[in-house]
Amino acid sequence: MKRTLLLLIFLVFSIAQAAAQVPTSQPASRAVITTMLLTSQPGKPSSEEMHKSMLYPCIRIKADNSTGTGAIIYSKPRDKDSLYYDSFAITNWHVIQSAIHVAEDWDPSMAKKITREKNDPVKIEKFSYIRWSVPDGSGEGFDGQIIAYSKDLDVAVLKIESSRKFEFTAKLYPKDRWLDLKVFDEVMLIGCTLGEPPLHTKGEISAVDKRIQVGGDWRQVWQVNALSLPGNSGGACYKIPEMACIGLLAYGVRGGEFLSFIVPMSRIYDWMDQEGLWFLYDPSKTPGDFEKHRAAKRAANQQK
């Protein structure tokens, strides 16, 4: 134990001594960091690629007394030649459930009570970074509008109230390659652990199509052995080396931090189809297709 401690002290001292020899000018500092990030092992994504594909799309979400994680999955021009962008993020229902309010109101035109939903905006914080990995402040704030959710699946989609382009978006694992995923595949979780800026943990797929009980309800999930902690809910789980999202971290076990359960994208894709959210994964579709689907759904519900 004493020998190990001495080795650790020596290692820290050696790193500090080496760092002291690096020129302190800004250009030299950037050159050193860029060189490190562009270095990667054969068949593995570089650190730069992982930053851009997994870390930078991560957002922190706050709704009343809850804090969780999400990922930006869409940011495209509203029209072909538009300078304005529509952007959307995905998270868990339980992260934003306190912003959802449902009540029965009397509708005089229909002469009956109808169920109305009025949702509060949620707070989204998008981080920028210096020296690639260091969060610059507490994050830029945006409002997020809840446009669709499923309590049973524990998933929600938010429209970010901004017309700017978000350069980095999470890539979704292809819908037609879902059966390629297997136990032992390497994964990475990105989440705002304990409400802090995004952190990553590594692991593997441990089980597929697993049933667990959550609050008396049975849920179909996948299990991964990457570390998860409070605040990670809604964070994307990425397949490595593709760096593509295969699901959202939804549940953990208190005292068993390596028992992490994700809602798989296979089930989220089915839900997206039901809600008309095709544009989130199909380039031939647009948010306008979703609006038409939602309007038709509302009209059908009012006639019941």
How many Cβ atoms sit within 10 Å of the Cβ of residue 245? 25
* pLDDT reported for residue 256: 57
Both tokens of 268, joined, read 């989220």
Which residues, in sequence order, are CB contacts of 202 under 8 Å at separation 6+?
A: 186, 187, 188, 226
* pLDDT reported for residue 236: 98
Distance CA 44, CA 50 (A): 10
Helix (H) or strand (E) holding 301: helix 287-302
* pLDDT reported for residue 65: 82
Confidence at 304, pLDDT banded by 50, 70, 90: low
DSSP per position, 186-228: EEEEEE-GGGSSPEEEEEEEEEEEEEEEETTEEEEEEEE-S--
The dihedral sign for the CA sequence 265, 48, 158, 211: positive
**pLDDT tens by residue, 252-289:** 766 655 689 999 999 999 999 999 999 999 999 999 99
* pLDDT reported for residue 41: 61
Q: Model-level pTM greater than 0.85?
A: no
The domains located in the chain, with CATH, are 47-170 (2.40.10.10), 172-267 (2.40.10.10)
